[in-house]
């Protein structure tokens, strides 16, 4: 197989895996499915997802629900109508429809991302889909950057392994959530997951995530689910 064909295959694999694939320089660096060529695996700067058009087909694929089980993610949040929920690292908005539905017309869904291009994409999608309750928020790499005790819950899907200084980040999320509110983290299992997901060096076990949330001040637990490639960890801000 030619080297061009190999590169194309690796880039395609990275997009399908639901994680990093942007920079062509990243793909051929031997991390399997093009994952993890950013700071975690290479030590040369953060991962960037600056072009939504590269990811939307894979991240918003209708058959993603088969393994991602968005209903189980929403159930773990325990949302009620009128609440405010943050989708941290919203990307191309895969989780927004079930979140919008769960909080209803009186609620608010804050789509947060470090990439302005993702937020611009989501703004257009919100207009097209009629998501009147979605607000866009540009967050910093090391800080969600919302006011203290301003939201009922935060969810993050396939993002936590990209964040550096996670216990410190968790402590900031804790302050953002109202007492009694929850932070739900969904991420890839730390084991081979059928070619999907980041390289093993970037993965975190559910127990490691629980420990990071506890270090950040949460009460944390692993939530039962039926996802073949992911776990769900829930932190609760003590009352």
Ligand X SMILES: C[S@@+](CC[C@H](N)C(=O)[O-])C[C@H]1O[C@@H](n2cnc3c(N)ncnc32)[C@H](O)[C@@H]1O
The residues binding ligand X (CB under 6 A) are: 18-19, 49, 59, 88-91, 94, 112-115, 118, 139, 141, 157-159, 162-163
Q: C-beta of 4: minimal distance to ligand X in Å?
A: 26
Token look-up 């960037």 returns 48
Q: Looking at beta carbons only, is 94 or 218 nearer to ligand X?
A: 94
Q: Looking at beta carbons only, is 103 or 154 nearer to ligand X?
A: 154
Q: C-beta of 163: minimal distance to ligand X in Å?
A: 5
Q: C-beta of 173: minimal distance to ligand X in Å?
A: 10
177-188 sheet: strands from edge to edge: 134-138, 108-113, 84-88, 151-157, 177-188, 230-236, 219-223
Q: Looking at beta carbons only, is 16 or 211 nearer to ligand X?
A: 16
Q: C-beta of 52: minimal distance to ligand X in Å?
A: 8
Q: What is the DSSP string of 38-88?
A: SHHHHSSS------GGGTHHHHT-GGGHHHH-HHHHHHHHT--TT-EEEEE
Q: C-beta of 140: minimal distance to ligand X in Å?
A: 7
Q: Looking at beta carbons only, is 155 or 210 nearer to ligand X?
A: 155
Cβ(123)–Cβ(136) below 8 Å: yes
Comparing every residue's Cβ against ligand X, the nearest one is 91
Separation between Cα atoms, residue 135 and residue 146, nearest integer Å: 12
Spatial neighbors of 210 by CB under 8 A, at least 6 apart, are: 220, 221, 222, 233
Token look-up 């399908």 returns 16
Q: C-beta of 156: minimal distance to ligand X in Å?
A: 7
Cβ(123)–Cβ(135) below 8 Å: no
Q: Looking at beta carbons only, is 166 or 236 nearer to ligand X?
A: 166
Q: Looking at beta carbons only, is 162 or 236 nearer to ligand X?
A: 162
Q: Is 27 exposed, middle or buried (0-12, 13-18, 19+ CB in 10 A)?
A: buried
């Amino acid at each position: 197989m030619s080297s061009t064909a190999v590169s194309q295959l690796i880039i395609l694999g990275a997009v399908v895996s639901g994680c990093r694939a942007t920079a062509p320089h990243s793909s051929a660096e031997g991390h399997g499915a093009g994952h993890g060529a950013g700071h975690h695996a290479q030590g040369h700067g953060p991962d960037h997802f600056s072009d939504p058009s590269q990811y939307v087909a894979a991240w918003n694929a209708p058959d993603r629900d088969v393994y991602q089980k968005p209903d189980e993610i929403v159930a773990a949040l325990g949302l009620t109508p009128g609440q405010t929920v943050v989708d941290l690292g919203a990307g191309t908005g895969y989780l927004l429809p079930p979140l919008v539905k769960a909080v209803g017309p009186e609620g608010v869904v804050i789509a947060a991302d470090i990439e302005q291009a993702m937020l611009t994409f989501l703004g257009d999608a919100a207009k097209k889909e009629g998501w009147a309750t979605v607000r866009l928020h540009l967050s910093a790499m090391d800080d969600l950057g919302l006011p203290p005790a301003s939201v009922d819950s935060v969810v993050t899907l396939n993002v936590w392994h990209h964040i550096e200084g996670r216990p410190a980040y968790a402590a900031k999320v804790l302050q953002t959530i109202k007492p009694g509110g929850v932070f739900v983290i969904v991420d890839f299992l730390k084991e081979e997951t059928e070619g999907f997901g980041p390289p093993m060096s970037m993965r975190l076990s559910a127990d490691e995530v629980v420990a990071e949330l506890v270090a950040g001040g949460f009460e944390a637990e692993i939530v039962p689910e039926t996802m073949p490639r992911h776990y769900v960890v829930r932190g609760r801000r003590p009352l």
